[in-house]
Amino acid sequence: MRILEVHHWQPRFPYNNAAFYARRGDRVDTSLLFAGEKTPDPRGYDAVVVYGGYMSAYDEVAHPWIKEELRFLEACLGAGTRVLGICLGSQLLARLLGARVYKSEKPEFGFTPITLTDEGSLDPLFKNLNAGKGFLGMEWHNDAWDLPKGCAHLAMSERWRNQAFRYSDRVYAIQFHLEFTREHMLHALFDKKGDLPRGEGIESPESFLADPKRFDSVRATMENMLGGLLAIV
């Protein structure tokens, strides 16, 4: 299949889904709209994955390319392309669909159990994850979204209710991360250590990096979820 990955910075390392694509023989292209690259045609791709970023989905004054990315996502929806928005990607989808995106009163950082709603436990992307009982997610966000009107609410965490939604039958948004390796996070925590959410209920950087098995868990979940997305007819 033909996959387009939309990044909001130049990736320093491959994400942990690279081996998944390689095993399948998928063709993976990268789009850097934030760097002024030409907007791709979504009709040329079977699926689009929109990753996170440090910027806010509502701050097109500082980041004027956000308007162009919203137009691109609108074109994806119009073309019936499978879409997975992660963190900032989920916030951009929520904004496009008319929901409020804003600074959260309860920012999250660290590995967090993700609980599925009744609808989420039946959803094609989530039902095979721990038999629909939930899974471990990786959180790092200061912003959040309200559930867009007409979308299915799929998942929540103890600290923040809105963790995943589905629009139509092929557009998904997840607030949590699954794509980062431990190598990614070692460098990210060093580069952005002054920007980490802090306070009660937020994991420390030392605890976050301590158990490599948790990174293996989110990689397995990422592959499972992508398999579900790419299986949608």
* Contact of 7 with 32, CB cutoff 8 Å: yes
CA gap 92, 228 in Å, rounded: 22
Residue 87: active-site member = yes
What type of residue is 207?
A: S
Going by C-alpha positions, the residue among 141, 138, 131 that lies closest to residue 114 is 138
Question: 65-79 and 88-96 are packed helices; what angle lies between their axes, rounded to 10 degrees?
Answer: 70
**Active-site residue, from 5, 108, 139, 179:** 179
Is 153 one of the annotated active-site residues of the chain? no
Q: Which of 87, 108, 139, 151 is catalytic?
A: 87
Nearest 10 degrees: Cα torsion 138, 152, 172, 88: -60
Active site residue 187: no
State the Cα–Cα distance between residues 229 and 224, nearest whole angstrom: 9
- The single residue of 7, 8, 177, 184 carrying the catalytic annotation is 177
* Identity at 187, one-letter amino acid code: H
- Dmax over CA atoms of the chain, in Å, equals 45
∠ at Cα 58 (54, 62), nearest 5°?
65
The residues annotated with a catalytic role in the active site are 87, 177, 179
